[in-house]
Structure 1
Amino acid sequence: MKDPKSEGISGSISKNGKYSWNKIENKGGKKMKKMNIMKRVIGLALGLTLIFSMAACGSKEEATDEGDSKTETTEEASGDDTLVCFANKGLDYYFWTVCQKSAEKACTDRGWSFAASDAKLDSAKQFDQFVNFINKKPAAIIADSIDSEGLIAAADQAVAAGIPVGIVDTPLTGGDVAVTVAFDNYDAGCLAAEAIAKALTDKYGEPKGTVVNCYGAMSSEAWRLRKEGMEATFEKYPDINYIAVPAEGEIALTQDAALNQFASGVEVDALHTPSDNPGQGLVAALKMENKWFKRDEDGHIIVVTIDGEPIANKFIEEGYYDYSIAQDGYSYGMIAVEMLEKYSMKGEDVPLGPYENSDYYWEKCEIIESDAGPYVKVPAYEINSDNCTDPRHWGIVAEKVLGIEYDMSAVEN
C-alpha cells in the first residue's frame, strides 16, 4: 500500500499497524499517455546512466537522503549465491514490515540471500534504491511501491537487465511485471458494510440503525476504494443511517471524529474505520465515553475494521470488536517469492488461473491478467468470533512466526 497521506503499512520498528495502497490513477487521455511515455523513456535513460556510473562501486550500497543520514539497506547473507532484493516503501507501519519480513523468510527458507531498503515514503528515494539493486545483479527484485506510476521505469530497467520484478501490496499501473500480489480494496469495503449490516440485524432483527464511518484520507487509493465499496453496499439498506466523517486515517483524528458524533447526540449503533491502526482512535473514544462494552453487554457499539491486524484478532476474541476484514500481508511476500522461483527466475510466465495454498486461511484465489502482468488477487475475508483464533490469520502469523510484536500502547490504558 501507499503512503496514506500522499495518495492512497521494523529497522527501527514502529509497530503501529497502519497501511494503505497508493495507486495513482492515469486519467489523462492521449496527452497524458504521451507524457507518461516520455517520463518512462527519460527515467529509463537516467537509470541506465546511473547503473553504468555505479559499475565500479562494488557490492556496498550507500543510498542517501538528500543530505540526511544514510538510508539503511539490510542484507541477510547465505551460502547460496541467489540474491533477492526488496525495495520497501517504509518500515514505520506494521503491515509494510510484515510484507518485507515474509519475503525475507521465504528467501532464507530457501537458503537465499536477501537485501532490503527503506525508502521512508520518498518515491524518488525508492526509485534510486531500486536502480541500485539492479547493479547488484540479483535473481529478482520485489517492491512495495510508493508511486504506482513512477516506479514503472525502474521496473522496466530491471526487466531489460534480465531481472524479474515482483510487486506486492500496491500494484503498478503498467510495465512488464513478473507477478503482482495484492487484494481488492473495493471488495473489502463491501464486505465491511455487509458485516455491519449483519451485526445490526443481530441487534434489531433487521438491518437498521446509525453507522459512523470515520474514513481515511481520500488521497489514498486504498481508503477511497474501501469507502466507495462500503457506500455502494449500504445503498441496499435504506433503513441504515450512514454518516461519513473524515478522519484522515490518523488515530487522534479518528478519536475526535467519534467523540464529536457522541457529543452531537446521535445514537451511534456502529463504528467503522478503514484500517486497524486508526481504529485505536475508536477504542480510545469508546473508553473515554464509557461505551467500551462487549458484544453481549448492554450498550455495546458495533465495531468493524479492515486489515485484520493483531489488535483486531485480540478484540474480536475478547468480545469488543464484531468483525474485521482481513488483508493477508504475510501471504504477499511468500507468494511473490514462490511465483518468482517457480516461473519467472526460469524465464517462464506466471500462469493465469486458480491458485491454492492451505497455509493461508483463504486457501484459494485467482491469478488474473492486469495492466502490469499476472496478478495474484488475494481475497479479502471476514474475521469473526468463530474463526479469530485460527493460526493462519496473518496477524497471528506475524507475531508468532515472524516475531513482529504489535504496539497497542495507544489503547492499553
Structure 2
Amino acid sequence: MVKKRIISVMMAVLLVAVLAAGCGKNDSTEEPENKEGTDTAAEQEPENKEKDTYKISALLYSRGFEFMVALDQGIQDKCKEYGIEVEVLDGNSDSSTQITQIEDSITKGVDAILLAPNNSEELVAGVKKANDAGVPVVVLDGNVAEGCEVLASCTFDNKAGGKMAAEHLMEIADPCSVLECTGATGAYHAVRRGGGFEDEMATDSSYKVIANDCSWDAETAQNATVDILSSNSEVNAVFTHNGEMVRGVIAGLKQINQLKKVGEEGHVPVVCIDGTPAELDYIRDGYLDATVEQNPFDMGALAVDVAYKYLSGEDENPEKEQYVYPRLITSDNVEDPENWANQIK
C-alpha cells in the first residue's frame, strides 16, 4: 500500500515537471518573437514618415493676366523640383467657384491646398472646410479673413514696396504735390502699398500726397490724371499702386499735352508697383521712371516650399506671414534677366 502511494506521488511529480517544462518553452519562444516584431514595425513606420509623393491643389482666383500666369509657373516649377503632384485651377474671379474647388480637392485627398483668394471674407467658409478635413492651407498673394486657420500667408511685402516707391520718387522729383492713384479703398494690397508710400513721403514736408481711389482701373486713373493735373499746377509726379493704372496715367498726360520722356523738360515722374512686361516697355520708351517689382515666380515657389517642408516634417511651425521682397527696376536694369517680366513664357 505504501509502495503504491510512493509510485503515485512520483508519477504526479513527474507530470507536474513535464507540464512546467512545456509552459516554460512557450514563454521563451513567443515573447521574444512579439518583442522583435514590435521593434521592426517601429523601424519601418516612424511617426513622421515622409511620403514618396505629395499631392497639392493650387487654386488661383484667376489666370487671366501675366502676373497670375507667372505665379502658376512658379508653383509648377517648384513642385517639379520637389517631385510634388500638383493641379492648378482657375477660379475665374469667382469665390463660389473657389469654394467648390476646395471641396473637390478635399474629396481627391490632396495633402495641401495653395490658395490665392478671390475675396478674403468669402473664402473663409471654404478654408474652414479644409480645416475640418485636416488639409493645411497656404495662402498666397493675399489673405483670408478671421474665422479659419491657414498654415501661412506668402505674399509681396506691400508696405516695403510702397516705401521703396516713395524713396525713389523723392530722389527724382523736385518737391511738389504727388498724385497717388490707389487701388480699391480697403483692399489688402492697396492699404499696405498706400501706407508704406504715404508714411515715407511724410518724412519730407516739402512733398504733399493727393490720394485718389482709382480702384486699380486704367480709365479711372486717366480721368484722375486729367482732372487733378489740369486743375493743380503743383502736382508734378504720380505714383500708382499697380501697372494697369500706369497705362491710364500715360494716356491722361498725353491728353493734356504733358507727356514727356525722362530727361525732357516738363517730364512728369511716374513710379508704380508690379513689374509687368508692359511696365518694362514703358521704361524702355522713357515714359515710366521706375517700377517696384513683386516677383510672382518667387511667390509661387515660396508657397510650395512652405507646404512641402510642413508635410515632410522639416518645418511644422512655419512663420505665419512670409514675404517676397520688393526690387526697384529703372532704365539701368530694365534688361536684367532676373526681372520676372523678362522670364515669363
For normalisation by structure 1, the TM-score amounts to: 0.65
Partner of 2:332: 386
- Checking the alignment, whether the CA contact within 8 Å between 1:90 and 1:121 is kept in structure 2 is yes
Q: Number of residues paired by the alignment?
A: 293
Aligned with 1:192 (options 165, 170, 180)? 165
Aligned AA (2:184)? A
For 1:160 and 1:187, locate their aligned partners in 2 and report how far apart those are by CA, in whole Å.
35
Aligned AA (2:310)? S
- Is 2:339 the partner of 1:339? no
* Deviation string, structure 1 residues 281-340 (Cα, Å, up to 9, x no partner): 011112233333221211211010011112222222343211211211121111222232
- Is 2:152 the partner of 1:179? yes
- Checking the alignment, whether the CA contact within 8 Å between 2:143 and 2:188 is kept in structure 1 is no
Deviation at 1:251, TM superposition (A): 0.8
Deviation at 1:213, TM superposition (A): 1.3
For 1:220 and 1:152, locate their aligned partners in 2 and report how far apart those are by CA, in whole Å.
16
- Is 2:176 the partner of 1:209? yes
- Is 2:323 the partner of 1:377? yes
For 1:350 and 1:376, locate their aligned partners in 2 and report how far apart those are by CA, in whole Å.
15
Aligned AA (2:61)? K
- Checking the alignment, whether the CA contact within 8 Å between 1:305 and 1:325 is kept in structure 2 is yes
For 2:127 and 2:209, locate their aligned partners in 1 and report how far apart those are by CA, in whole Å.
42
Deviation at 1:92, TM superposition (A): 2.8
Aligned AA (1:283)? I
Aligned partner of residue 298 in structure 1, secondary structure: coil
For 1:265 and 1:160, locate their aligned partners in 2 and report how far apart those are by CA, in whole Å.
56
Structure 2 unaligned residues grouped into runs of 5+? 1-51
For 1:149 and 1:110, locate their aligned partners in 2 and report how far apart those are by CA, in whole Å.
32
Aligned AA (1:187)? A
- Is 2:206 the partner of 1:239? yes
Specify whether residues 275 and 157 from structure 1 end up closer, same or farther in structure 2 by C-alpha distance, changes over 3 A only. same
Deviation at 1:148, TM superposition (A): 2.7
For 2:102 and 2:246, locate their aligned partners in 1 and report how far apart those are by CA, in whole Å.
33
Aligned AA (2:161)? A
For 1:172 and 1:238, locate their aligned partners in 2 and report how far apart those are by CA, in whole Å.
36
Partner of 1:132: 104
Specify whether residues 347 and 153 from structure 1 end up closer, same or farther in structure 2 by C-alpha distance, changes over 3 A only. farther
Aligned with 2:194 (options 221, 227, 233)? 227
Q: Percent identity?
A: 28
The higher radius of gyration belongs to 2
Partner of 2:220: 253
For normalisation by structure 2, the TM-score amounts to: 0.76
- Checking the alignment, whether the CA contact within 8 Å between 2:280 and 2:334 is kept in structure 1 is yes
- Checking the alignment, whether the CA contact within 8 Å between 1:178 and 1:350 is kept in structure 2 is no
Aligned with 1:169 (options 141, 155, 169)? 141
Structure 1 unaligned residues grouped into runs of 5+? 1-79, 353-368, 404-413
Aligned AA (1:84)? I
For 2:213 and 2:97, locate their aligned partners in 1 and report how far apart those are by CA, in whole Å.
30
- Bigger shift: residues 218-227 or 312-321: 312-321
- Is 2:93 the partner of 1:121? yes
* Deviation string, structure 1 residues 180-216 (Cα, Å, up to 9, x no partner): 211222222222111111112xxx4xxx122111222
Equivalent positions of 1:12-411 (< 5 A) are 82-110=54-82, 112-173=84-145, 175-200=148-173, 204=174, 208-341=175-308, 343-349=309-315, 369=319, 374-397=320-343, 399=344, 403=345
Deviation at 1:168, TM superposition (A): 0.9
Aligned partner of residue 187 in structure 1, secondary structure: helix
For 1:216 and 1:258, locate their aligned partners in 2 and report how far apart those are by CA, in whole Å.
15
Task: Please report the RMSD computed on the Cα atoms of aligned residues, expressed in angstroms.
Answer: 2.4
For 2:303 and 2:215, locate their aligned partners in 1 and report how far apart those are by CA, in whole Å.
30
Deviation at 1:153, TM superposition (A): 4.6
Partner of 2:27: none
For 1:289 and 1:271, locate their aligned partners in 2 and report how far apart those are by CA, in whole Å.
15
Specify whether residues 289 and 99 from structure 1 end up closer, same or farther in structure 2 by C-alpha distance, changes over 3 A only. same
